[in-house]
Amino acid sequence: MKLVGKLLLSIMMVAVASVAMAGTLERVQQNNVLVLGVSEGVAGFSAPDSNGRWTGFDADMGRAVAAAVLKDPEAVKFVPLASKQKIVAVSSGQVDLSRGTTWTMKRDGKQGVDFTVVLFYDGQGLMVKKGLGVTKGTELDGASVAVVSGTTSELNVADYARANNIKLETVVFDSKKEAFNAYVAGRCDAFTTDVSQLASLRAGASNPGEHVILAETFSKEPLAPFVCHGDNQWKDLVTWVLYGLIEAEEKGITQANVLEMKEKSTDPVVRRMLGATGEVGSFINLDNDWLVRAIQAVGNYGEMYDRNFGPDTALNIPRGHNNLWTKGGLIYAMPIR
Amino acid sequence: MRPFIHLKTKPVPLKASKLREQLPALLAQTLVVGGILYVALQLFYNTQANLEARNIASGFGFLSVEGGLPINDTLLPYSPADSYGYAFLIGTLNTLFVSALSIVLATILGVLVGVSRVSRNWLVARLGAVYVEVLRNVPLLLTLFFCYSVLLAFLPSPRNSMVPFGDIFINNRGIFMPRPEFLGAMGWVGSALAAAALASFLLMRKSRRMRDVTGRGLPAGWLSLGLLVGLPLAAYYLAGRPMTFDTPELHGFNFTGGMVLRPEFSALLAGLVLYTAAFIGENVRSGIESVDKGQIDAAKALGLKPGLIMRKIILPQTLRVCIPATTNDYTSLVKNSSLAVAIGYPDMVSIGGTIIGQNDQAIEVIGMWMAVYLTINLVLSMGMNWFNAKVQVVER
């Protein structure tokens, strides 16, 4: 079980003496591969497709960084990690970069990791069966709720029940699949985890129409990729590659037109970020084509989102908070200059 | 019967010349031990330094912090406002509870399986064999998933609960039963039970002595049973029936009140019992088969009844053979209970895992897991070794 993984991680904590200290960028360049921590399979975020190729929002994120740093979007080694392992895997230097994870004060301050950019504003929600007729979480007094262990969701659901003075029987499972199965089998009335994952699991259910995700969310889950604490050079690099993808959407730069934009655009901002003028790449220890390669690999932020969560996908998560700030969302890139 | 030989050697005092002979060996051993200690110490310091370098707090201070984690199945009162340390204790109690109950039930089932394996009835023997081969050769994790899925698929929703009798409700949220609530006068019943236990102990002793002297004892078993049931029952009625029941009732989604055996617990119990009973059954079979056929023939020749042969001749010798192997199975069972996390039962590993997830103090929690399992299993082994020593043949 997971116990083995935890033990291995602990042994690694003991054994990895100076690897992380050497600087992640040098390590990535030396090994010519970016080691990316991904989920154990969450459709839309990171999951292997039928050919064994990792796809999803987080996989794209990793490919963009690999393209910028190593000039090869496929130079990514995907390491599936359980929720419980993902933080220690980064703080111990087992992986260079991890999938988006809820940015909290404790993780940032006390657990040896630093967060880069919030790429997905998520929130913990509840999924119930349509037949139950429940519309609000507070109507679930006395109900059983399936929860996945090792994440903040156990804490959130307990806090929610305490704050609203309702009783919830929580049944905690080690894996998302078992928790979801218990909910589908009727052992639990509701299933709780982040809305994005509810959508992901619902998409894979035998009868997706049978389940409703309640509109209410009871936690902030800003998902941000994170790196090892204290390596500012590497953190800056990842941060600005991701900002670059966001800025690209705002400026209308796409996978298809990126080269054309670099040559023909007269917008000084676009010319700077695509390396036609200036040397912004050197600010993060890269060459001037860093962002061109990243956009060629996965497109801009909006393209990444639509490919994995858009209306044509099984998940179909509306952009909502995850729209650009100019379109009423929260996605906002710092100025590239 | 195999003879048991006890070799008793007295320690020989070390003479100066002998010491000189052994000096190289002693030096080498000291060096090896020193080397191991040095490596262990280096590992410890290195870990500490690495943890500090990664800004990960270490130490056990987190245990007194409010955990906020929900646990649905607890033996003691618990709320998310309690500390991590208390939550871990709740998990440890769950581990102990499910392990203890499983050991008792697995032993009973195991003995039945073992006896059925040597049965002269063809069908019974074959059924026993099939049971052992199937359960023994399937990974426990799959057995657990199977038990849990079958339970969930088989049990109805709370609204369509099965009601076998009285106020007992069975559904996919668990088996709900009335919970007895003791009033103050229940102390009398307890005292009566204690008195009955003492009386039966004395009775048993007296009966044994009488049998040793006259060859005929008292029917002590039946008398004791009567005492143990009768006295408390009489006290219960004399004290005015000082017990009420808290009965479960359906409210909204679920039953409230009463006691509940949740499906996660039931599935874990069933899985552990079924799996371990297969191994214990084999121990029992080997124990029975180790008893010399001649002894049974001799017993028959003396006119002993089959039941008496089993109880007085086969079983005591079976115990001698099967206890050491069964000790292993018991300790495995305790360790296997950590698979609970897969089917949602909040055992120590499940709760500890959550604590790691919230604190990332993996090394501390893993250390606590190891300490608890080690303690449980050492105590268990000590008990079994004591029992084993007691049933060995006493040489005169």
Q: Is the pLDDT of residue B44 over 90?
A: no
**Does B158 contact chain A (CB < 8 Å)?**
no
For B84-145+260-391, which CATH class? mainly alpha
A50/A53 Cα distance (integer angstroms): 7
Q: Is the pLDDT of residue A4 over 60?
A: no
- Which tokens hold the place of A164? 């609203």
CA-based nearest residue in chain A for residue B265 = A171
Please report how many Cα atoms fall inside a 13 Å half-sphere around the Cα of residue A135, on the Cβ side: 0
For residue B341, the distance in angstroms to the closest alpha carbon of chain A comes to 6
Q: Tell me where in chain B the CATH 1.10.3720.10 domain(s) lie.
A: 84-145+260-391
CB contact under 8 A, A152 and B157: no
B343/B346 Cα distance (integer angstroms): 9
Higher pLDDT, B274 or B8: B274
Looking at residue A313, what is its pLDDT?
Answer: 86
**Residues of chain A above pLDDT 70, percent:** 93
Residues of B in contact with A13 (CB under 8 A): 47, 50-51, 54, 362-363
Q: Is the pLDDT of residue A3 over 60?
A: no
- Choose the weakest-confidence range: A245-249, B3-7, B100-104, B249-253: B3-7
Higher pLDDT, B21 or A74: A74
Question: Interior CA angle at B66 toward B64 and B68, to 5°?
Answer: 145
Looking at residue A149, what is its pLDDT?
Answer: 82
CA-based nearest residue in chain A for residue B70 = A158
Domain annotation for chain A: domains and CATH numbers: 2-121+222-327 (3.40.190.10), 124-219 (3.40.190.10)
Looking at residue A20, what is its pLDDT?
Answer: 44
**Residues of chain B above pLDDT 90, percent:** 41
Residue B54: band (very low, low, confident or very high) from pLDDT cuts 50, 70, 90: low
Q: Is the pLDDT of residue A15 over 60?
A: no
Of A91, A159, A172, the CB nearest to B350: A172
Higher pLDDT, B73 or B140: B140
Question: Sign of the CA dihedral A254, A259, A265, A267?
Answer: positive
Q: Is the pLDDT of residue B147 over 80?
A: yes
Question: Interior CA angle at A38 toward A61 and B57, to 5°?
Answer: 110
Closest C-alpha among A126, A172, A286, A1 to residue B355: A172
Higher pLDDT, A307 or B10: A307
Looking at residue B385, what is its pLDDT?
Answer: 92
B374-379 average pLDDT score: 95
pLDDT digits (tens, 9 = 90+) for A272-298: 999 999 999 999 999 999 999 999 999
Looking at residue A274, what is its pLDDT?
Answer: 95
ipTM: 0.72
Residue B90: band (very low, low, confident or very high) from pLDDT cuts 50, 70, 90: very high
Length, in residues, of chain A: 337
Q: Is the pLDDT of residue B187 over 90?
A: no
Q: Give the range with max mean pLDDT: A36-40, B119-123, B244-248.
A: A36-40
A333/A330 Cα distance (integer angstroms): 10
Please report how many Cα atoms fall inside a 13 Å half-sphere around the Cα of residue B275, on the Cβ side: 27
B252-270 average pLDDT score: 88
CA-based nearest residue in chain A for residue B40 = A14
**Does B47 contact chain A (CB < 8 Å)?**
yes
Residue B309: band (very low, low, confident or very high) from pLDDT cuts 50, 70, 90: confident
CB contact under 8 A, B80 and A152: no
For residue A80, the distance in angstroms to the closest alpha carbon of chain B comes to 16
Q: Is the pLDDT of residue B277 over 70?
A: yes
Q: Is the pLDDT of residue B7 over 70?
A: no
Residues of B in contact with A230 (CB under 8 A): 55
B345-356 average pLDDT score: 90
pLDDT digits (tens, 9 = 90+) for B211-225: 888 877 777 778 888
Q: Give the range with max mean pLDDT: A124-128, B11-15, B166-170.
A: A124-128
Q: Is the pLDDT of residue B233 over 60?
A: yes
CA-based nearest residue in chain A for residue B46 = A14
Residue A115: band (very low, low, confident or very high) from pLDDT cuts 50, 70, 90: very high
For residue B31, the distance in angstroms to the closest alpha carbon of chain A comes to 24
Residue B169 zone, left/alpha/beta (φ > 0; ψ -120 to 50; rest): beta
User: Which DSSP state fits A311?
Assistant: T
**Does B264 contact chain A (CB < 8 Å)?**
yes
Looking at residue A18, what is its pLDDT?
Answer: 41
Residue B160 burial class via C-beta count within 10 angstroms: exposed 0-12, middle 13-18, buried 19 and up: exposed
Please report the residues numbered 169 through 208 in chain B whose beta carbons come closer than 8 angstroms to any beta carbon of chain A: 172-173
For residue B5, the distance in angstroms to the closest alpha carbon of chain A comes to 44
Higher pLDDT, B276 or B161: B276
Looking at residue A17, what is its pLDDT?
Answer: 42
pTM of the model: 0.72
Residues of B in contact with A180 (CB under 8 A): none
Question: Sign of the CA dihedral B128, B129, B133, B136?
Answer: positive
Q: Give the range with max mean pLDDT: A4-13, A19-28, A79-88, B262-271.
A: B262-271
**Residues of chain B above pLDDT 70, percent:** 94
Q: Is the pLDDT of residue B102 over 70?
A: yes
pLDDT digits (tens, 9 = 90+) for A174-189: 888 889 999 999 899 9
